[in-house]
Structure 1
């Protein structure tokens, strides 16, 4: 499996108008997608929130949902599965700062206790249980990889993160979704994190389900969807 650098095509899909509830913690497709991204590639503290994505359109969507400012930078990082490989890519960081001089703080909460994060830093997704597709799509785009495995002629989907508990949660969410794909064991990466893969035979069905309604809502990263579609086409071309 090669590093998932995404599609850096100049083609831009239009940003749809995002309708979000006034409370970013309320159960809603937009908030499920937002918190999936935050959990997968972000960090929450009492006074601020930061989330990183490799897709500019997705970063703009997250900003439309929760507010905040988006900054762009070029970064070089070791690939989680193989630290001998370095990937260079454009990254977009959304930052939201609470008013430290106000008792309300971030999203009207003065501490993380009011956010979907428990005292140990683990995410609570119960409020978004009716929107598992959007939640899992955000998690995939934040800490997942999609690729075409040329040696097997199959599509690969895996999830990588430093937080083992988060990946256990992702596994539970996948087990509860309509596709219920077989999953590989949770293993350590060479960089000290953890990862698991979706069974190759189930990856196409899962990928199609995750992005089935995305154009209607605008809650997706265009580069990630193009990567998935291209991988599916390559696999189907070898059948």
Structure 2
């Protein structure tokens, strides 16, 4: 077990797997984030989040160094809108592994990307995390998803946006297999050239609640994203 800072600045105990590639809730959360907002290179993995506490949790799981900067980017659904936000970039590699003695063995003891849950074409393989679909989906959502309150409809919106159409198709399969009924809209192109789909508004509250259920017990979540979901659900209830 290792400590990471909680949202109230008190140490939070995170259960860390001996192997960050093995089936475990923490490794599922890590690789969900990598798939959603990361990049796997030769000898390094880079993942980006706008939640500082989530970045610390990911570093606790896999080691690495966190770099903080402020970035402006186009809104995925409308390239004419930009937003500025904090970005925390975690780089995991031979110089930042938790076990420095094994740094010469390559990333997580592998040569290049061999043995990582991603193939040479960039397609992810998540079979090792089949028993931890909630943590895997939570990592993907926090990496490339959005949660919002739709004021014009009084509903909660949950959507996933990414340049990789194959990843979103895989995400849809994970949602179809989850224990709550969560119908989805079709996979569509965004104005910026990527792809996106949304969970149906009627199903979003139940799906979001399941996704973050008991997450504070494991610490495997972004507090800012959980707060956004909770606030959106409260707004939807008040609207009704």
RMSD: 1.4
Residue aligned with 1:61, SS: helix
Counterpart check, 1:49 vs 2:51: no
Q: Which residue of 2 is the match for residue 142 of structure 1?
A: 143
- The correspondence for 1:98, drawn from 94, 101, 108, is 94
Offset of 1:19 from its aligned partner? 1.6
CA contact (8 A) 2:103 2:109 kept: no
Q: Which residue of 1 is the match for residue 219 of structure 2?
A: 218
Q: Which residue of 2 is the match for residue 167 of structure 1?
A: 168
Counterpart check, 1:82 vs 2:83: no
Find the aligned partners of 2:193 and 2:186 in 1 and give their Cα distance.
16
Residue aligned with 2:114, SS: helix
Find the aligned partners of 1:109 and 1:63 in 2 and give their Cα distance.
19
Offset of 1:12 from its aligned partner? 4.0
Offset of 1:238 from its aligned partner? 1.3
Cα 1:61–1:94 change in 2 (3 A) is: same
Find the aligned partners of 2:185 and 2:8 in 1 and give their Cα distance.
35
Q: Which residue of 1 is the match for residue 210 of structure 2?
A: 209
Note the alpha carbon deviations across 1:88-143, whole angstroms, 9 max, x for none.
Answer: 000100001226x9762100001212100012110100000000010000011100
Find the aligned partners of 2:94 and 2:194 in 1 and give their Cα distance.
30
Q: Which residue of 2 is the match for residue 236 of structure 1?
A: 237
CA contact (8 A) 1:78 1:85 kept: yes
Offset of 1:15 from its aligned partner? 4.6
- Unaligned segments of structure 1, at least 5 residues: 1-10
Find the aligned partners of 1:24 and 1:96 in 2 and give their Cα distance.
12
How many aligned positions are there? 228
So what's the TM-score if we normalise by structure 2? 0.92
Cα 1:118–1:70 change in 2 (3 A) is: same
So what's the TM-score if we normalise by structure 1? 0.92
Runs of 4+ in 1 over 2 A off after TM superposition: 11-15
Where relative contact order (Cα < 8 A, 6+ residues apart) is larger, the structure is 1
Offset of 1:13 from its aligned partner? 5.6
Counterpart check, 1:124 vs 2:125: yes
Where do residues 9-24 of structure 1 align in structure 2 (5 Å cutoff)?
Answer: 12=8, 14-24=10-20
Q: Which residue of 2 is the match for residue 8 of structure 1?
A: none
Find the aligned partners of 1:13 and 1:217 in 2 and give their Cα distance.
16
Q: Which residue of 1 is the match for residue 68 of structure 2?
A: 72
